[in-house]
């Protein structure tokens, strides 16, 4: 159920066990490759200014585990995430006004490899509930499409019949289960 009368009020933090930050990119022109980062921190603040989101993901927590040489290249390669020099991906939104149905569009800044660019995401917020332990929980989901080259993620190879091995368009999604701070 989405918010029907007002957005979240207060400060919420992401439940790290039940929150994900993912990306999806077309690979070899035939399939969509998806992976996620498991070490994610996020904070969502709702007040009279609107809904604001900030968070980060540690690059080394990427879900690519094998083969080891491929993982090492994606995590630390200069044409991928270069985590040795830039260990985190961060996001900070502008205030967003949530529609009565719980949907919203939000602008903000995404920083990858020390490069900060403006992005726009669409999202939804779920009406808060009280869990069995007395905590107030909600969820925020966001989706944005970006061009990975804007952040220096420049790896590329050509297919024998033409075309790129890796699409430049990447879909980023965040599913944040959030708990209200007391």
Question: Six-digit token pair at 116?
Answer: 């900060």
pLDDT at residue number 14: 98
10 Å CB burial of residue 37 (0-12, 13-18, 19+) is: buried
Could you report the per-residue pLDDT of 145-154, keeping only the tens digit for each? 999 999 999 9
The domain that contains 32 carries what CATH number? Answer: 2.40.128.110
pLDDT at 143 over 90: yes
| φ, ψ for residue 72, nearest 5 deg | -60, -40
Residue 2 lies in a domain: no
3-state class (DSSP) for residue 148: helix
The total of structural domains in the chain comes to 1
How much is the average pLDDT of 174-182?
96
**Against a cut of 0.85, is the pTM above it?**
yes
User: Is the residue at 3 inside a domain?
Assistant: no
Residue 82: inside a domain, yes or no? yes
Give the C-alpha separation, 135 to 61, whole Å: 27
Q: How confident is the model at residue 16 (pLDDT cuts 50, 70, 90)?
A: very high
pLDDT at 102 over 70: yes
Evaluate whether residue 5 is within a structural domain: no
Question: Residue 171 falls within a domain, yes or no?
Answer: yes
| Share of residues in the chain with pLDDT > 90 (%) | 95
> Residue 99 belongs to what domain range?
10-180
């Amino acid at each position: 159920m989405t918010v029907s009368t007002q957005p979240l009020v207060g400060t919420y933090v992401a439940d790290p066990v039940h929150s994900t930050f993912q990306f999806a990119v077309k690979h070899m022109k035939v399939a969509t490759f998806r992976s996620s980062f498991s070490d994610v921190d996020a904070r969502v603040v709702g007040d009279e200014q609107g809904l604001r989101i900030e968070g980060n993901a540690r690059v080394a927590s990427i879900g690519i585990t094998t083969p080891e040489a491929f993982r090492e290249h994606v995590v630390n390669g200069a044409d991928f995430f270069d985590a040795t020099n830039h260990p985190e991906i961060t996001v900070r939104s502008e205030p967003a006004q949530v529609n009565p149905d719980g949907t919203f569009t939000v602008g903000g800044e995404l920083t990858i490899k020390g490069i900060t660019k403006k992005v726009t995401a669409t999202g939804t917020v779920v009406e808060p509930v009280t869990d069995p332990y007395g905590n107030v929980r909600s969820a925020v989901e966001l989706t944005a499409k970006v061009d990975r080259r804007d952040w220096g993620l420049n790896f590329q190879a050509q297919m024998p019949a033409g075309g790129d091995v890796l699409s430049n368009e990447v879909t980023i999604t965040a599913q944040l289960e959030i708990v209200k701070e007391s």
